[in-house]
Structure 1
Amino acid sequence: MTQRAGTSHRAAPEHTHPDDVLVLTALAALADPVRIQLVRELAGSCEWTRSCGSFDVPVGKAALSHHFAVLRNAGLVEQRDEGPKRVNRLRREEFEARFPGLLDLVLSPDPRDR
């Protein structure tokens, strides 16, 4: 099978269900400033509307891919490919069922940031 110019075949992302995540894994994923920014932006967006390249974060493509992999492995993000783009959704309900209140705590504004 030959690959046409301009097309790519990448493996679908693997996802970890929040039920299979340890609390320390979740906390470690949420401790990074870039990842917390990604989660906050996803929380304010409709599901499946944000492509990976639409986030305003101070990292390159390879680092961004790594950050999304960490979020997937922590059960926070689900991704799917739509044509050439990979779109994202925050797994808010599933994560909330596993760690009640954690996302609300993380997403609430810190009074010290004012």
Structure 2
Amino acid sequence: MSPSSRSASPSQPRTLAHPERDEISLEAVLHALSDPVRLQVVRYLAGLAEGEGAACSAIELVVSKSTGTHHFRVLREAGLISQVYRGTAKLNALRRADLDALFPGLLDAVLGADAARRERDVS
């Protein structure tokens, strides 16, 4: 895993630990996607343009801030998202290229199944 969080200094911004591509496991990805709040985050990030990210606060979640932080950490540690600091905010981006390379079609299948379920729930 890449370096863990560290104190910010003018020459070294804070960084967060992310698994390398070859460290991402199917079990961790499926576990992370099994929670509705985390699936909502992935759905939101998947709707952004390639390479675009969003601050945690841009994604409206129905959980407390501390619980939201936990969900973002689970997604990051599973390898689904990358998080980088921009000032005091964390910018989140979906690691689509890594996920598609490791598990071709998985993300699209999960998002498609989620969209179908949400459509059924509306009907």
After TM superposition, the score normalised by the length of structure 2 is 0.78
Q: Which amino acid aligns with 2:45?
A: L
Q: For residues 29-73 of structure 1, give each alpha carbon's deviation from its aligned partner in whole angstroms, at most 9, with x where no partner exists.
A: 000000000000000113343101111111111111111111111
**TM-aligned CA distance change 1:89 to 1:103, over 3 Å:** same
SS at match of 1:68: helix
Percent identity, aligned pairs only?
42
SS at match of 1:110: helix
CA RMSD of aligned residues (A): 1.9
After TM superposition, the score normalised by the length of structure 1 is 0.84
Higher relative contact order (CA 8 A, sep 6+): 1
Structure 1 gap ranges (5+):
1-7
Correspondence list, 1:1-114, <5 A: 9=8, 11-46=14-49, 47-108=51-112, 109-111=115-117, 112-114=120-122
Q: Is the 8 A contact 2:45 2:53 kept in 1?
A: no
Q: Is the 8 A contact 1:18 1:74 kept in 2?
A: no
The structure 1 segments of at least 4 consecutive aligned residues displaced by more than 6 Å after TM superposition are none
SS at match of 1:29: helix
Q: Which amino acid aligns with 2:116?
A: D
Structure 2 gap ranges (5+):
1-6
CA distance, structure 1, for counterparts of residue 21 and residue 58 of structure 2: 25
